[in-house]
Chain A
Amino acid sequence: MTIFIPTPLRPYAGGKDSVEVSATTIAGALAELTAAHPELRKHLFNAEGKLRAFVNVYLNDEDVRYLPAKEATEVSAADTLSIIPSIAGGTGN
């Protein structure tokens, strides 16, 4: 499956905007991603290994927090995972 990496996190994923993984669950996919790009880990997970509150992960267009099996949800090669961090830019100098 494809994991989309948002702009602010690309420096920690070798500059890539997407990464292909072969895991069969969401948790497995994120583990594979952070194994390949260890610097991403602290940006995605807190010290207890849980996803940070300001990072949202979507399976296709659905928020993983609202899936019945959450991160244990099974995924197929055709699915996409999107990491959506909060951004605040707008007016700015």
Chain B
Amino acid sequence: MPAINETNALPELTPEELSRYSRHVILPEVGVEGQQKLKAARVLCVGTGGLGSPLAFYLAAAGIGTLGLVDFDVVDASNLQRQIIHSTKDIGRKKLDSAEEKLTALNPDLKVVKHETMLSSANALEILKDYDIVADGTDNFPTRYLVNDACVLLGKPNVYGSIFRFEGQASVFATREGPCYRCLYPEPPPPGLVPSCAEGGVLGVLPGLVGVIQATEVIKLILGKGTSLAGRLLLVDSLNMRFRELKLRKNPECPVCGAHPTVTELIDYQQFCGILPESKEEKAMKNGIPQMTVKELKRRMDAGEDPYILDVREPFEFQIAQIGGKLIPQNEVPLRLSEIPREREIVVQCKSGGRSQRIAEFLKQEGFPSVVNLAGGILAWSDEIDPTVRKY
């Protein structure tokens, strides 16, 4: 990797900083100069979720000067089992705002740069170029390959962590001599073959373990001390509490970091990962559940029909905004089936259409003859029908 700040003079530490970081400063491997390097460092965390939470927290505590955060998501109750940077009061809030508040409370000297966007081929190079190191805590294959390729093209080290159920992986990619993610996995698995954490589940403390390993690697790279995980894949098996490591080699024929690269600019990573745009038929029907648009629902309401709207969000969300549905939070639906009229068409609705799809599938399984999902949920309603319905 390029030595950080090799040309710039390192920033001085204030007396307050010297005392705040005294346990670092007395380490021979850190010292005043190391702490100055941390202060000068700019690190980008892609994602402020399971891995990003502990990663960003520890980097902020360690005295990193600038921390960039990329996320476009809002905090959901189901995140809190592992995404420790967010609190119960943050549910419904932007993850970036929630994370910034916690990080600056911990360390007011930290400069947080918020990138409220989904990292894409169009913006990745522009966002990454201002940072020294990238820490990848994303949750999908297209973004993994995008981050990898962008890091290789820009010559930025990519501190990698990934988790599934009870198992994690960590490594450092895209250092000058070391392998990249594509050397390890030249191709992604076809969609659907590898379940996501949402489908497969994940032990809440596991991203803590792996994210802290990533934070450790970031700090070592900045200090230029120790032996990084470059060229090694660390495997964490939390169920048996076994740590193993495997050798990683730079693939001389790697399409992005090899001797004769064929990938010299960012590509379409959705397509690379076999994710095709949804066809019209898929839009109209998902897992056997018809998808109703908000326009169609509005048309039917205007026509005097009285569809039974089942709102499966949480009560606090209902208080913020609602469109006249009957509130039964998703977890209570199985216990309150008798309250839902079987003879009517049920339009299941949530915030953006994900929870309601699962409940619609559940109701169909329970023998409800006519169940549809409101595609896009209340957010789509606010966007397309009634902007006075509050978005959150």
Contacts and interface: CB of A to CB of B under 8 A. Distances in A.
Interface of A: 6-8, 17, 43, 52-54, 56, 58, 61-63, 66, 82, 84-93
A93 B247 CA distance: 32
A7 B239 CA distance: 11
A85 B49 CA distance: 22
B134 interface: no
B212 interface: no
23 contacts: A7-B166, A17-B240, A61-B244, A61-B245, A63-B247, A84-B246, A86-B184, A87-B167, A87-B194, A88-B141, A89-B162, A89-B200, A89-B202, A90-B50, A90-B51, A90-B137, A90-B161, A90-B207, A91-B138, A91-B139, A92-B202, A93-B78, A93-B79
A88 B196 contact: yes
- Chain B residues touching A, range: 35 or more
Interface stretch (B105-113, B185-193, B367-375): B185-193
Contacts of A86: 141, 162, 184-185, 188-189, 194
Interface centre among A8, A53, A93 (most CB of B within 10 A): A93
Contact of B235 (A52, A54, A84, A92): A84
B185 A56 contact: yes
A68 to B, nearest CB: 13
Nearest to A6: B167
Contacts of B15: none
B144 interface: yes
Contact of A92 (B185, B197, B248): B197
Given A8-B200, A54-B189, A88 B246 contact: no
A89 B164 contact: yes
B94 interface: no
Contacts of B167: 6-7, 87
A7 B187 CA distance: 20
A87 B354 CA distance: 22
B49 A91 contact: yes
A17 B242 CA distance: 13
